[in-house]
Structure 1
Amino acid sequence: MSTRRPDLQAPAELVSYLDGLPEPHILFDTHYRIAAANAAYRAQFAPRGSVIGRTCYEVSHRIDVPCDQAGESCPLARSRASGQRERVLHLHHTPQGEAYVAIELVPLCDAAGVPRWYVERMEPLRTARGAASADGLIGRSRPFREMLELVARVGPSEASVLLVGESGTGKELVARALHEASARAARPLVVVDCASLPETLFESELFGHDKGAFTGAHAARAGLVEAAHGGTLFLDEVGDIPLTMQVKLLRLLESGTFRRVGSTELRRAELRLVSATHRDLHALIAQGRFREDLYHRLATFPIALPPLRERRDDIPLLAASLLARVAPRRPPLLAPGALARLVRHPFPGNVRELRNVLERAALLSDGGSITAATMERALAAGLPGAAPRPAMPAAGAPLRAAELDALRAALAAHHGDRRSLAASLGISLRTLYRKLAQLDAAPR
């Protein structure tokens, strides 16, 4: 049973109702004082003490003034202005540290229509962090939080989401956060890398094929759409989908049905679609390379991912987290000068480039600290012309003979793993694997 302070006089039936809800809920008055906290709230946010009688902002943020007086978005202040329920995303203090929490606040009015109590429901975003972490989305800057608030708002829905942002901004991590925030979280998240699929295999990979559908189809095979049934299908680099496939994808989105290659049987898939691109889809539509009707199906709820240069305040957090990933046994510390140099860098490759730079810096460092001089070397090593290396074409472009020879030479000269090879070539690991697939398929 929820605990409450008698002088707050919360309605007993309301307290009992909230205590039976599975999500964390608190009830507080117009003075921000918590009158009741249900069992789910106490288990997640206050396992070692009572919050009754304390203000919500003191408990959640460790501050002594309401959120809107401390630079935060206060749901109660917003509800007073609108007279309606309000939703915000806050960074809360929890027993496990700071965590992002999606809040929905509902005013409860008396017979005269005046709000007397407020009910606040909380839903932690498990894939986002406001501190250094081993995984998930990390950041505290305003552009990051604005993006994350959209993720929290649309995540529980069934709406199709289009993620738009430069390469290296973490679109797949955001897709995973959307999946984890939905009712489909227990079902699969299936990732389709559209840029790496040749046009001749695209339909088979997506929809599957029957035995004998084409040369080499020795057995029937389910596609990625069927694998995502009940869950989420993430189409990465959707701007690279061939025109011939776009109409079939549109049919799937409109009717929920598809056919395997070589089959007349109509199959049904029940899934949620999240897509992503770094391309300007409006420009592709104007050029006749992308269907406008498909765009509107994909972009029910578009979310723009900020580039790293617009969220420089997050670089210290990201750097600490990434160093723990690239050097998990003994992550080096960043000297103040090295961190200052990182923050000044424009990072055209975004978080992916930041990871590469930090991995180089960790390898170049002989002690337990990365100095400003070492960081300068690590940054310079990634600049064009800093060291002789084969020039690589854009992702998804066919490899010419000279480029094939360059890649073969790089493979012969390199003695490390694939990740370090990709870093030395100045491309992502995913792009390297695309190139290697093309190399394997090329005549010798």
Structure 2
Amino acid sequence: MNIIATDAPSSKGLANMLEGYDCPAILVSVDYQILAINQHYRNEFGNTPLEQTSRCYEVSHDYTVPCDEAGEDCPLSAVLQSGHKERVLHIHQTPRGKEHVDVEMLPIFDDEGELLFFVELLRTISMASPENINNKLVGASRRFNQMLEKVTRVSQNDVSVLLLGESGSGKELVATAVHQGSQRSKGSLVTLECAGLTDSLFESELFGHVKGSFTGANNNRTGLVELANGGTLFLDEIGDVPLSMQVKLLRLIETGSFRPVGSSIIKHSNFRLICATHKNLFQMVKSGEFRQDLYYRINVFPIYVPSLRERQEDLPLLIIALLKRISEGKEYYLTDSALQLLRRYDFPGNIRELSNILNRAVILSDTNLIEPSTIQECLDIDRELGQYNDNSLQIDDSGLASGRSNGTEWVDLKTAESRYLADLMAFYEGDKEKVASVAGISLRSLYRKLES
């Protein structure tokens, strides 16, 4: 909204008005000078010296020039161009360090339409951070901030969200951020990994089943849709949902009603839907692999999650955050040359691959300083496995995968995988969540592989 102030009010009178806002607010002149702050601002960011030299860009960013001259979007400049309120996401200097802040700039006009002041409203975004490694979403690059701004905007709305991006780019973490920033955050975030599910398993997982409804249904099972009531349902890899099941999923989204497998009772669930995929759903619609009506139901608000290649500036931040999570108390560091080696790598597996590389590096390092030779060894592991899979894989008469290299016979892939997982289980003392993370598979897949 545009605020019309009659009788050319003083900045002191407008300063009193700031106390009416339920978030940190400052009063800014047309030449960027901070004229007043409210108590919410003092509580969150501390006192700001109100001097002639206290410009908003100096206090918030330590800049010597306005944001748009320093390579960032400037809400004040945007308001001057549009004539109405503007909203941007910035990284501000705060007493706690750098933080993502959602900035809303409101222009104040007199009754003749002359621009007098700006009211700047600031809301800290707790779901992400440019440096706090305790947050799951970490980044400060322009591409990351553009994505985070969309996450912030859509979180407060209850519309369906479709997350698009390469595998390993962090779509599940973005889904968690949308849920945590929503009014449903006190409810459950329930995730269904759609990849690899048969028709019957997908229906049972999603809707639940009653005892005796099919072979192996020895007990009643509550479906994930019912568990998501009041919260968020996240369907990961929605592009892998069997075509025959898509019509049932569409009916669920349209009506909120479902029927457990083998039951005649109709149930209802109120949930917010988030879907994710690395596939081109539009092309799948054109080829008949994905229903068009379902596509438009889930694609209300699409968010593209950038690959690691597209946000290379975030690599040092991500490394610090991942090493902190991996090491569990012990601090590890990369040498500058090791970091430069990773900068030259294109990460086809994105952040998930980076996490795997750092996990290996921690295991292979004899000290807490990770050298470039260790990083190179970690990269060579995948390169050697790729050559093995491409050039050495054969199928013998028994149907088992095997390979030969320089006259040496390889064990079958299933046995090699079992040994690899057994070694990880031993190293991490049976911590299945950690092993699944290092192996780059879901916890459910790990259980299945350990039992087979």
TM category (shorter chain) comes to 0.7 to 0.9
Q: Name the CA distance, whole Å, in 2 between partners of 1:80 and 1:275.
A: 38
- What are the within-5 Å matches in structure 2 for residues 25-64 of structure 1? 25-46=25-46, 49-53=47-51, 54-64=54-64
The 1:421/1:254 distance shift into structure 2, 3 A limit, reads closer
Q: Name the CA distance, whole Å, in 2 between partners of 1:363 and 1:387.
A: 23
Give deviations 1:392-425, integer Å, cap 9, x for gaps. Answer: x9xxxxxx8649963244324642225787688x
Matched with 2:396 is none
Q: Which runs of 4+ in 1 moved over 6 A?
A: 386-391, 419-424
- What are the within-5 Å matches in structure 2 for residues 264-275 of structure 1? 264-275=264-275
Matched with 1:80 is 80
Of all paired residues, the percent bearing the same amino acid is 44
Gaps (5+ residues) in structure 1? 1-7, 394-399
Kindly state the Cα deviation for residue 329 of structure 1 after the two structures are TM-superposed.
Answer: 2.8
Kindly state the Cα deviation for residue 15 of structure 1 after the two structures are TM-superposed.
Answer: 4.3
Matched with 1:338 is 338
Kindly state the Cα deviation for residue 163 of structure 1 after the two structures are TM-superposed.
Answer: 0.7
- What are the within-5 Å matches in structure 2 for residues 234-249 of structure 1? 234-249=234-249
The 1:68/1:55 distance shift into structure 2, 3 A limit, reads same
Between 115-124 and 158-167, report the one with greater CA deviation. 115-124
Does structure 1 conserve the Cα–Cα contact (< 8 Å) formed by 2:209 and 2:263?
yes
Between 22-31 and 67-76, report the one with greater CA deviation. 22-31
SS in 2 for 1:126: coil
SS in 1 for 2:373: helix
- What are the within-5 Å matches in structure 2 for residues 300-315 of structure 1? 300-315=300-315
Please state if 1:103 is matched with 2:103. yes
The structure 1 residue matched to 2:413, chosen from 399, 406, 418, is 406
SS in 1 for 2:213: coil
Does structure 1 conserve the Cα–Cα contact (< 8 Å) formed by 2:436 and 2:446?
no
The 1:182/1:16 distance shift into structure 2, 3 A limit, reads farther
Gaps (5+ residues) in structure 2? 1-8, 394-398, 403-410, 426-431
Matched with 1:228 is 228
Q: Name the CA distance, whole Å, in 2 between partners of 1:270 and 1:17.
A: 39
Please state if 1:416 is matched with 2:424. yes
SS in 1 for 2:195: helix
Kindly state the Cα deviation for residue 140 of structure 1 after the two structures are TM-superposed.
Answer: 1.9
SS in 2 for 1:311: helix
Matched with 1:397 is none
Q: Name the CA distance, whole Å, in 1 between partners of 2:183 and 2:257.
A: 22
Does structure 2 conserve the Cα–Cα contact (< 8 Å) formed by 1:381 and 1:387?
no
Does structure 2 conserve the Cα–Cα contact (< 8 Å) formed by 1:259 and 1:266?
yes
The 1:222/1:422 distance shift into structure 2, 3 A limit, reads closer
Q: Name the CA distance, whole Å, in 2 between partners of 1:21 and 1:228.
A: 34
Question: What residue identity is the alignment partner of 1:411?
Answer: S
The structure 2 residue matched to 1:429, chosen from 436, 441, 445, is 441
Q: Name the CA distance, whole Å, in 2 between partners of 1:269 and 1:17.
A: 43
Q: Name the CA distance, whole Å, in 2 between partners of 1:64 and 1:401.
A: 67
Q: Name the CA distance, whole Å, in 2 between partners of 1:356 and 1:174.
A: 20
User: Would you say how many aligned residue pairs link Structure 1 and Structure 2?
Assistant: 421
The 1:351/1:24 distance shift into structure 2, 3 A limit, reads same
The 1:360/1:435 distance shift into structure 2, 3 A limit, reads closer
Kindly state the Cα deviation for residue 145 of structure 1 after the two structures are TM-superposed.
Answer: 1.8
Give deviations 1:98-146, integer Å, cap 9, x for gaps. Answer: 0111112221221012222222222222121112513311122222222
SS in 2 for 1:78: helix
The 1:264/1:385 distance shift into structure 2, 3 A limit, reads closer
Matched with 1:261 is 261
The 1:210/1:40 distance shift into structure 2, 3 A limit, reads farther
Does structure 1 conserve the Cα–Cα contact (< 8 Å) formed by 2:418 and 2:450?
no
Kindly state the Cα deviation for residue 229 of structure 1 after the two structures are TM-superposed.
Answer: 1.6
Question: What residue identity is the alignment partner of 2:59?
Answer: V
Does structure 2 conserve the Cα–Cα contact (< 8 Å) formed by 1:195 and 1:240?
yes
The 1:423/1:405 distance shift into structure 2, 3 A limit, reads farther
Does structure 2 conserve the Cα–Cα contact (< 8 Å) formed by 1:126 and 1:180?
no
Output the TM-score relative to the length of structure 1: 0.86
Between 241-250 and 17-26, report the one with greater CA deviation. 17-26
Does structure 2 conserve the Cα–Cα contact (< 8 Å) formed by 1:380 and 1:386?
no
Does structure 2 conserve the Cα–Cα contact (< 8 Å) formed by 1:390 and 1:406?
no
Matched with 1:10 is 11
The 1:349/1:326 distance shift into structure 2, 3 A limit, reads same
Q: Name the CA distance, whole Å, in 1 between partners of 2:368 and 2:108.
A: 56
Question: What residue identity is the alignment partner of 2:110?
Answer: D
The 1:95/1:200 distance shift into structure 2, 3 A limit, reads same
Matched with 2:406 is none
Please state if 1:68 is matched with 2:80. no
Q: Name the CA distance, whole Å, in 2 between partners of 1:196 and 1:129.
A: 34
The 1:205/1:288 distance shift into structure 2, 3 A limit, reads same
Question: What residue identity is the alignment partner of 1:410?
Answer: E
Kindly state the Cα deviation for residue 175 of structure 1 after the two structures are TM-superposed.
Answer: 0.7
Question: What residue identity is the alignment partner of 2:11?
Answer: A
Matched with 1:286 is 286
Q: Name the CA distance, whole Å, in 2 between partners of 1:185 and 1:362.
A: 35
Matched with 1:189 is 189
